[in-house]
Amino acid sequence: MPASAPRATSDTGDDFLLTPGPLTTSRSVKEAMLHDWGSRDGAFVRINREVLEALPRIVNGEGDYVAVPMQGSGTFAVEAMLTTFVPPDGECLVLVNGAYGHRARRILDIARRRSVVYETPEDVPPDLAEIEALLARSPSITHVFAVHCETTSGVLNPVEEIGAVARRHGKAYLVDAMSAFGALPLDARAAHATAIAASSNKCIEGVPGLGFVVARAVDLAAAKGSATTLSLDLHDQWANFEKTGQYRFTPPIHVIVAFHQALREFWAEGGQPGRLARYEENRRTLVQGMRALGFETLLPDALQAPIIVTFHMPADPRFAFQEFYDRLKDRGFVIYPGKLTVADSFRIGCIGRLEASHMRLALDAVRDVMAELGVVSASPRRAA
């Protein structure tokens, strides 16, 4: 990098994380962690209770739904949800169009829960009529699992419509809403969701370390004794909160206190609609600017969630992804490699404490790096 290349930094001097998570967080969220609390400290117990009370509201579930936290990354919450709600004699239909659907299948396999997979390509949402037909001919299926925004590609899956189909066939419905929770509208009741898993470090913009499951209380009560692990048993975790207000095992206290601050900032921004508006503006700015440079998106705009955008690799042989990645990082922007089977690609995230002005700085950096590499067009098609 020429010594003169400008480096953009966040308000704490860090790179901007244009990734699927962990993400750029606000200074105030990080500052909330500058204290120690005991896990039985009254102030911490209150903060934790406020966090748990806020989460069902984000998916319009207050009254019928409760939030159960799970120490660990988002996958811990997904594993807790699947292994608490799908009993050992259950069978789960897993809708797969990316890595997170595959991961759910793997969790079920390891936990020796039976599953059936309906897979579509990474840029194609599942077909509702196909799900309908599958459920109609498979009475042994007890649960349906779907991913809201499949972060592998950024594709938006029709979670509420899938829930309606599951409901018509009397199936329980489990949703991995990790990368969408708090940004994309999701109504737990309208989706007929049994449980929805997400985490602290995606669209709520906390730091990583806490997953959670928003579950319908009657279904959670009925799941007593189904779990096959101690630490991931959501019913046991919940029952203990009901009884003592405490975690069973050491909670990630600093993460929870930062999450509490992140939720304050979330409500101050107007909750889910406010957050969605900022992310949509980020996506619009990013996609317009990248298209102006010749880049092409994997997904048509109608299937593209404002969470993370997948771009095709340019065809120009002077474009070397590692070099592109490293030079953007030198300028303060961390992007993400693709992991698609359908196309050679990379990803740029729209979520985290970022605004359109940051996306414009990132676009300036992309333009500069392309010029340095001598890439004239970013088109994925070879010039004729």
Annotated binding site for substrate: 347
Of 180, 166, 248, which is closest to residue 214 (Cα–Cα)?
A: 180
Measure the CA–CA gap between 235 and 334, rounded to whole angstroms. Answer: 38
Measure the CA–CA gap between 172 and 166, rounded to whole angstroms. Answer: 7
| Contact call for residue 338 and ligand PLP (CB under 6 A) | no
SS3 content of the chain, % helix, strand, coil (to 5): 40, 15, 45
- Known binding site: residues? 347
Contacting ligand PLP within 119-148 (CB under 6 A):
147
| Contact call for residue 179 and ligand PLP (CB under 6 A) | yes
Least separation in angstroms between CB 197 and ligand PLP: 8
Q: What is the bridge-based pairing of β-strands 333-334 and 308-312?
A: unpaired
Q: Which residue reads 């007929």 in tokens?
A: 192
Choice from 26, 75, 297, 310 touching ligand PLP (CB under 6 A): 75
Stretch that binds ligand PLP, among 11-19, 69-77, 227-235, 360-368 (CB under 6 A): 69-77
Binding mask 193-232 for ligand PLP (x = CB under 6 A): ------x---------------------------------
CB 318 within 8 A of CB 374: yes
In what helix (H) or strand (E) does residue 155 lie, and over which residues does it extend?
strand 155-156
Stretch that binds ligand PLP, among 121-129, 138-146, 172-180, 373-381 (CB under 6 A): 172-180
CB 209 within 8 A of CB 42: no
Please count the CA atoms within 13 angstroms of the CA of 264 that sit on its side-chain side: 12
Stretch that binds ligand PLP, among 68-76, 88-96, 258-266, 339-347 (CB under 6 A): 68-76
In the complex with ligand PLP, the residue whose CB is nearer, 21 or 126, is 21
Binding mask 15-44 for ligand PLP (x = CB under 6 A): -----xx-----------------------
E strand residue ranges, 200-327: 210-216, 308-312
Of 207, 110, 199, 84, which is closest to residue 151 (Cα–Cα)?
A: 199
CB 84 within 8 A of CB 223: yes
Least separation in angstroms between CB 367 and ligand PLP: 29
- The residue at minimum Cβ distance from ligand PLP is 74
Of 172, 78, 94, which is closest to residue 131 (Cα–Cα)?
A: 94
Choice from 10, 26, 73, 226 touching ligand PLP (CB under 6 A): 73
Least separation in angstroms between CB 109 and ligand PLP: 17
In the complex with ligand PLP, the residue whose CB is nearer, 125 or 380, is 125
| Contact call for residue 79 and ligand PLP (CB under 6 A) | no
Measure the CA–CA gap between 172 and 224, rounded to whole angstroms. Answer: 15
Amino acid at 298: L
In the complex with ligand PLP, the residue whose CB is nearer, 18 or 375, is 18
| Contact call for residue 380 and ligand PLP (CB under 6 A) | no
Stretch that binds ligand PLP, among 27-35, 67-75, 284-292, 353-361 (CB under 6 A): 67-75
| Contact call for residue 176 and ligand PLP (CB under 6 A) | yes
Of 104, 116, 86, 203, which is closest to residue 146 (Cα–Cα)?
A: 104
In what helix (H) or strand (E) does residue 269 lie, and over which residues does it extend?
none
In the complex with ligand PLP, the residue whose CB is nearer, 251 or 380, is 251
Q: Return residues touching ligand PLP (CB under 6 A).
A: 20-21, 73-75, 78, 100, 147, 151, 176, 178-179, 199
